[in-house]
Amino acid sequence: MISLDVLTLGGPVIWIILAIGCLAFGVFVERSLSLHRARIRVEDFLKGVINILGRENIPEALTICEDTPGPVAYIVKTAIQHRHAEKEDLLRTLEDASQAEISRMERRLVVIASVAQLAPMLGLLGTILGMVEGFLAMRAQAPLVHSGHLMDSILTALTTTAAGLMVAIPCYAAFNLLVIKIDRIVLDVERTRTEIVAYLTGTRGAAGESQ
């Protein structure tokens, strides 16, 4: 690990790297908790809602959807609210609702991706600044160059590079982990959309035939 003394030698660039790293970490924690709450047992939820709809208790079904977090419950609620629409219109409505929920889940992921890209570049900037400082010190002290100033400049350059990579690598991993979680929820949403539309349109067709 990089000690506080070494961080101090890293100059202002390293503090910028650490600041954006803390920002990315905060976003990761917030998104992880949000996605964890959004993941539910789809089979049990659909089974319970369909049983309630089978008893034609629409208010109770809507209440359960409202009390259940996540995009799956929102999709089912939207489907129930538009249950009398034509199948094509219902599918289009649920598709729009699904896209809105996906966008909401992906909110602020761009922060983590941006930090993962910016941190190495800031590290490279710090490296270049450190080397420039070292060469300026060598020129100012020539022909008798003090090794201490040169070593400080090299240490600054190497520290900022290391800090940039230490922030960027976890950000890449965090971003990919969140994308995987979102993809799993998207699959649940697509499955839910298919099943609830099939149930509502099938029930409607059965009611029409019975008449």
What average pLDDT does the chain have? Answer: 85
pTM score, whole prediction: 0.81
Kindly indicate the confidence band of residue 209, based on its pLDDT and cuts at 50, 70 and 90. Answer: very low
131 domain residue, yes or no: no
103 domain residue, yes or no: yes
Nearest to residue 118, comparing CAs of 179, 35, 175, 178?
175
184 domain residue, yes or no: yes
C-alpha span between 52 and 59 (Å, rounded): 9
166 domain residue, yes or no: no
Nearest to residue 156, comparing CAs of 1, 7, 3?
7
211 domain residue, yes or no: no
Confidence at residue 208, expressed as pLDDT on a 0 to 100 scale: 47
| Torsions phi, psi for 39 (to 5 deg) | -85, 120
Residue 113: both structure tokens together: 């991706």
134 domain residue, yes or no: no
**Domain count within the chain:** 1
H helices of the chain, in order, are 4-9, 12-38, 42-54, 58-67, 71-81, 87-105, 109-141, 147-210
Confidence at residue 211, expressed as pLDDT on a 0 to 100 scale: 44
155 domain residue, yes or no: no
Q: Which of 34-43, 109-118, 141-150 has the highest mean pLDDT?
A: 109-118
102 domain residue, yes or no: yes
Supply the range of the domain harboring residue 100. Answer: 10-117+172-205
